[in-house]
Amino acid sequence: MNKIAFVTGGSRGIGRAIAVRLAKSGFDLWIGYKSNTVAAEEVKAMIEGLGRSCELLRFDISNYEETEAALAKKVEERTPHVLVYNAGITRDNLMVWMTRDEWDSVISTNLDGFYNVTRMLMFPMLKAKRGHIIVVSSTSGQIGQAGQVNYSASKAGLIGAARALAREIGKKNIFVNVVAPGFIETDMTAGLPKEQILNLIPINRLGKPEDVASVVNFLCTEEHMYIHGQVIGINGGLAI
């Protein structure tokens, strides 16, 4: 029976690239997504075209009841070997103008969602005594970014949560690590001033989703693994 990788926010951008890369490495996929069924079906077709199975799971990760309904029985029947917590949103604004909804929506999706999803997998993974949890944070969570107090807080919170979890479950052969992408060419960064950004990046290019996927794939597949509780920056030197 093939190993399963569960990728949240797997229908577009970084999540899609991670899902496809893991499929190429032999994983069957569960793709979590909230609303874009067309994009999710496209990823499913790509993965099945690689000879792997793909199941689409539509639910709102910020809603605990929805997450529990989607996952509780499922993970007991078959526990994924890999969880990639990738889902995230931005609602950028300067703190002085930031609305409560802009704060709450980002924190509930990016940070509360981690609790909602990961907790569903804890007992099954602990029982199986194996697994990899990869959390997709951001350079903004490492160094902060003006106009992103909410986003930076959520992504920094993920780093703290992952490090604490790594201390809790490492003895059970469950590896927990964080990847922190910088400016990656996705829908989320499409409207940013590219020329200004390039001046901040030593290797003088934006990253591609595949740059992140390659690191996640390594963390999930490398046989000789001694990386645990770490934050790996994928940012072209933006944060050194």
Number of domains forming the structure of the chain: 1
Distance CA 119, CA 161 (A): 12
Q: What pLDDT score was predicted for residue 87?
A: 80
Classify residue 162: in a domain, yes or no.
yes
Instruction: Give me the phi and psi of 36, to 5 degrees please.
Output: -85, 85
* Position 239 in a domain: no
Strands annotated E in the chain: 4-8, 28-33, 54-58, 82-85, 131-136, 174-181, 231-234
Q: What is the CATH number of the domain that holds 104?
A: 3.40.50.720
Percent of the chain whose predicted confidence (pLDDT) is above 90: 90
Does 151 qualify as catalytic in the annotation?
yes
Asked whether residue 112 is domain-assigned, the answer is yes
The answer for residues whose C-beta is within 8 angstroms of residue 45's C-beta and 6 or more apart is none
**Does the residue 8 lie in any domain?**
yes
Q: Residue 4: pLDDT above 80?
A: yes
204: in domain? yes
**Residue 240 counted as domain residue:** no
Q: Examine residue 56 and state whether it is found in any structural domain, yes or no.
A: yes
Catalytic residue among 33, 64, 85, 151: 151
pLDDT band at 206 (very low <50, low <70, confident <90, very high): very high
Residue 229 belongs to some domain of the structure = yes
Percent of the chain past pLDDT 70, that is, above it, reads 98
Domain that holds residue 145: 4-234
pLDDT digits (tens, 9 = 90+) for 97-135: 999 999 999 999 999 999 999 999 999 999 999 999 999
In this prediction, residue 187 carries a pLDDT of 75
Residue-wise pLDDT tens digits, 134-189: 999 999 999 998 999 999 999 999 999 999 999 999 999 999 999 999 999 877 67
Q: What are phi and psi of 59, to 5 degrees?
A: -165, 165
